[in-house]
Structure 1
Amino acid sequence: MKNKLTTEQSSSYNNLEKMNTFELLSNINAEDKTVAFAIEKAIPSVEKLVDVIFDKMDKGGRLFYIGAGTSGRLGVLDASECPPTFGVSDNKIIGLIAGGDSALRKAIENAEDDENLAWTDLLKYKITEKDVLIGIAASGTTPYVIGGLEKANKNHIITGCIVCNKNSPLSLAAKYPIELIVGPEFLTGSTRMKAGTAQKLVLNMISTAVMIKLGRVKDNKMVNMQLSNKKLVNRGVLMLMDELNIDQALASKLLEKHQSVKNVLDNYKN
């Protein structure tokens, strides 16, 4: 029998049901604290993937995420948050989950075991060699994700992955693998915990760094954010007041006219 995957190894904690609430929370937190250090070791790998994504997207390409279960949901989440945060089209960063959107709320039986399904899903978006595909799987063994990357490789599409085991089949399939070795979970095998947290943090890093490099941010401000509610409109007004040294009334008027902070900054003449 092969060695057990790190993500499947037994928890360092025993008799969880005998712990009181404070002990449970403290021990989970102690494990969570190790995640950022595991990611730090992987920054050089993340850097390589960010740079190649930027190069492709700067030339008009797109970024795709594929995954199953928690990993798939995290990819869809990151993709869905980029349009409101950075003002990019919702077809620039696309997240796909095994089993389709229904799987975001409810497990779809056997969808992740179909090695041909991801490529079928990707073809619906007419993926090409101008794009980048990232497979997300804590175990690194999910057939849906591996199959998608292998087909992408054959079609000369740049591939990356985010996994939480070393030398997994998915890492071997990806041209730009990212391995986040966070160790056994507090609850044995529950990769929605540390592994999921690590994946979420790295997805944040990838999409945010790429968007900054693409000029979707000014200084430290989300100047391209969509003004989709009162909170964001107020945030935009405050940005303009600070950036242009103008009063609230003028900032509000300019934002209403130009419909984005960036448009105001590009067109404002003192």
Structure 2
Amino acid sequence: MGGKNPAGRLPRAVYEQELARLQIELVKLQEWVRAEGARIVVVFEGRDAAGKGSTIKRVTEHLNPRVARIEALPKPTERERTQWYFQRYVDLLPAAGEIVLFDRSWYNRAGVERILGFCTADEYRRFLQQCPIFERLLVGDGILLRKYWFSVSRDEQERRFRARIEDPLRRWKLSTVDLESVTRWDDYSRAKDDMFVHTDIPEAPWYVVDSDQKRRGRINMIAHLLGSVPYYEVPREPVSLPPRPRDRGYERTDRRLQREVPDHAATLLKALSSHPDGTSAPDHAARG
């Protein structure tokens, strides 16, 4: 990725080529996890709009959801509030041959819960005391734990929030908690610093992903994850299609007896033929 400006924007073609290569390696990692019965936990944390979700999407895009699953817990129920804080996360930890990616995790207590008053001061202090112990227990039991903090600048976060407001496909991502984070920037910065002091431990260190440029952030995070796990390519038996059996006289059911979805694609092609320049497609075609 050299050149005169190594911090410059990663060209899309370079990004897509490298992402494809890394995703092939992620599939190899998945097969190694299954073959070895390994257990991997990847924690994604960071400010709102820092690019955690889009990176998780690229990590899991070509993986088997039975092997690699995403956990993004909602706020705890009244019953869960009375449990040991880490209890509901323990239930989600991987068994042999599984990868779990936490889209936010037990670190909610060190960030959102602390800043917005969703936990008491005693609960927060207890978290900082117990979290390193909890993570050492996970690592000591053989779980491969990786923790990534996605860092984004104040200006870039604001730009992404504004883009979400204007985008009907991403507007749902904005919550009142997200919007409040704009006015609590310094509070979240201090909370992150305090969290690192207590939980950046040798057995489970934090790795910071500079995510002001999303393409670079995704590539850097995935490459680091792959480089941190001693996986190898699992040999696979050659696969070949079996010969097709001879026709035994089966006749397909009359399609008129079935309910088929309307051919919406045909309306698009018809509109395209009426407007070969690709503009001014009829409203009914757009609406379906």
Higher relative contact order (CA 8 A, sep 6+): 2
Same structural fold, with TM-score higher than 0.5 when normalized by the shorter chain:
no
**TM-score relative to the length of structure 2:** 0.33
**TM-score relative to the length of structure 1:** 0.35
Compare CA radii of gyration and give the structure with the larger one.
2
